[in-house]
Amino acid sequence: MLLTEEAPARPRTIDPAFRRDILDGLAREPKATPPIWFYDRRGSELFEQITDLPEYYPTRTETALLKAHGLDFARAVGEGRAVVEFGAGSSRKTPHLLRAIRPAAYVPIDISGDFLQASSAQLAGDFPELPVLPVVGDFNQPLDLPREIAGMPRLGFFPGSTIGNMEPDAAVDLLRAMRRLLGEDAMLLIGMDRIKDRDRLIAAYDDAQGVTAAFNLNLIERINRELEGDLPVDGFAHRAVWNDEKARIEMHLEAVRPLHFHVAGACFHMDAGETIHTESSHKYGTRDERLLLRAGGWEPVEEWTDDEGLFGLVLAKA
């Protein structure tokens, strides 16, 4: 049962937030741009391909955990909650959770209206009794939940270790905002990628087929297309680096020669070897996970992980 309002028409003009973030990011020392801008249509397709790569263990491992522990979730969470998924994307993992806990409603939140409509329609077909109430929006900004779930206890679902793409301060702010949005009796099921062998981590972000490189370089093409840029795509190389001090994989676009280019009328220069830092993907020890959740106002109650301890699914309560 898909309950939705018509999606607003997509603006054809330059997105002012994209323009501002890219111009600010390129003017910064060192250059750094927020990872949200990877996800245009092409970027979202490339990300879907990444999730199937042999080197990219997170999606496969988390999906196996969701499939294996349905009875545990049902016991720990109970039936009749409204599931609110943050950044629902293609929602490929969600059916395993919905089947296990039989919620009273499902509220997927995503910034991409097209993607959300398609995946919500698919889920509504697979779960005909379940009210599916999509919300188009940025979950980093204040949001309203649909009136239909007023009074229902909620379970927030934030899979994929998307929390890891945020700086620790921003991650804490988001967890607090989720706590406020979901209310007093809420629970949160969150995927958190674990610290592990450095080579395995780097391979996951620099795969042999070059899909992650294409995903990173697509940002250059998007800037050229949408912001009147003239960055030479062959002037940049994809780099994935493990930053041990900050326990994170960093993706960079490195200038392979001195570069001069323009974006939205502004001129930029890069020396050979200089980089644009395009994404951080933080990884967590078990203690880090608990500390982060507590700082965000959540008390961890249970955790499931795979045999190798690659990835954790943590259940927390408000």
Cα separation, 313 vs 147, in Å, equals 29
Cα separation, 39 vs 34, in Å, equals 11
Return the SS3 of 124.
helix
Q: Interface with ligand AVI includes 279 (CB under 6 A)?
A: yes
Strand partners, 238: 253
Closest contact distance (angstroms) between CB of 58 and ligand AVI is 6
Region from 93-101, 155-163, 180-188, 218-226 binding ligand AVI, contact rule CB under 6 A: 155-163
301 exposure class (CB count in 10 Å sphere: 0-12, 13-18, 19+) = middle
Q: Interface with ligand AVI includes 50 (CB under 6 A)?
A: yes
Structural contact between residues 191 and 157, judged by C-beta atoms closer than 8 angstroms: no
Q: Interface with ligand AVI includes 205 (CB under 6 A)?
A: yes
Binding residue (CB under 6 A) for ligand AVI from 156, 160, 229, 296: 160
Q: Interface with ligand AVI includes 62 (CB under 6 A)?
A: no
Within 10 angstroms of residue 148's Cβ, the number of other Cβ atoms is: 14
Region from 78-86, 156-164, 172-180, 302-310 binding ligand AVI, contact rule CB under 6 A: 156-164
Q: Interface with ligand AVI includes 127 (CB under 6 A)?
A: no
Binding residue (CB under 6 A) for ligand AVI from 162, 171, 250, 277: 162
Nearest residue by C-beta to ligand AVI?
281
Alpha helices in the chain (DSSP H): 16-27, 41-51, 57-68, 70-77, 94-101, 113-126, 168-182, 198-205, 211-226, 286-295
Q: Interface with ligand AVI includes 165 (CB under 6 A)?
A: yes
Q: Interface with ligand AVI includes 278 (CB under 6 A)?
A: no
Region from 63-71, 161-169, 223-231, 295-303 binding ligand AVI, contact rule CB under 6 A: 161-169
Cα separation, 51 vs 72, in Å, equals 25
Binding residues for ligand AVI, per CB under 6 A?
A: 50, 58, 160-162, 164-165, 205, 212, 279, 281
